[in-house]
Amino acid sequence: MFQHLSYDQGEPLFSQLEQAFQNAADYQSVGVGYVGKEQIYLCYLTSLVGSDHMIFQLEVPEDATNTNLDSYIGTKYTVGSYKECERAICTGKTILCTHNSSNCIILDTENPQQRGLQQPQTENVIQGPMYSFNEHYSTNIALVRQRMQTPRLKIWETTIGEITHTTVGMMYLEGVTDPGLIQYTRDKISSIQTDSVQESGELLRLLNPKTGLFPVAVTTERPDRVSASLLNGKVVIFLDGTPFSIIAPGSYFDFWESAEDQYLTPFIAVFIEYCGLWLSC
């Protein structure tokens, strides 16, 4: 693993990280051993990492560092420069470097804070799946993957926000979704210039600043509705930090459709819709 570390001219990566996080109380840089004459450091934010980094803080002989690193076999790790390391620390990863190296090894040790799967809060149904998205991006992607087990389900990802670097993903079904719609949506997302995006409603306004009488997209917290929309050739946009996804494009009839209409016979579904309209008047 240590053969990936390089030692170029210039300020060492470790010193740059110490300066960048010098006033962050939850930033830690811990010496865990030596490789030759170079001391090894782990750098991380205690508020974001999981327990994987703790194995290096056990009192072990100096020659046991490589043995400890063997525990990461099978765990994803990458090599990164300063900018990539700075970003990785802010997302909960752990940086492994020496005092004078110009790059580092990035270990996946993040421990995202999230709530468990719960019933939908805004789209309750009598018949149908009883779970919804939460605020964790990867969890929401996994919920759709479980319902659509096909390699044709594609995801394009990017980040939005000069400060927050919020992950945004566009999901579509290859061979079903119009390529023109896919490219148009990618261009719209890529053109967004802002400091931060906190919620899907805010992202929707940035995608369509010219508001009309009807919204151009539908928001939903239900994985089954997302799956049905993908099968109908639409794109779905996920934003990290919110349980609501965006289904585009939205038609007039999408806003009158109940989440459980596809599980009922047409006559019963229409009857329930009209009863709901009559009671709301």
Q: What pLDDT is recorded for position 190?
A: 94
**Cα Rg for the chain, rounded, in angstroms?**
24
Q: How many CB atoms lie within 10 A of CB 214?
A: 10
pLDDT at position 94 over 70: yes
Secondary structure letter of residue 110 according to DSSP: B
Rounded Cα distance between 111 and 126, Å, is: 35
Stronger pLDDT, 59 or 278, i.e. the higher one: 278
Provide the greatest CA pair distance for the chain. Answer: 79
Average pLDDT estimate for 16-24: 90
Q: What is the C-alpha to C-alpha distance for residues 126 and 114, in angstroms, rounded to an integer? A: 26
E strand map for 138-191: 153-160, 166-173
What is the model's pTM? 0.76
Of these ranges, 38-47, 192-201, 211-220, the one predicted with the greatest mean pLDDT is 192-201
Residues 6+ apart with CB under 8 A from 232: 176
Q: What is the pLDDT of residues 122-170, one digit of tens each?
A: 777 766 778 889 999 989 999 999 999 899 999 999 999 999 899 999 9
Q: Which of 10-14, 47-51, 135-139 has the lowest mean pLDDT?
A: 47-51
pLDDT value of position 245 = 95
Average pLDDT over residues 100-128: 79
pLDDT score at 73: 45
The string over 55-71, giving b where at least 16 C-beta atoms fall within 10 Å of a residue's C-beta and e elsewhere, is ebeeeeeeeebeeebee
Q: What residues does each domain of the chain span?
A: 2-107, 137-279
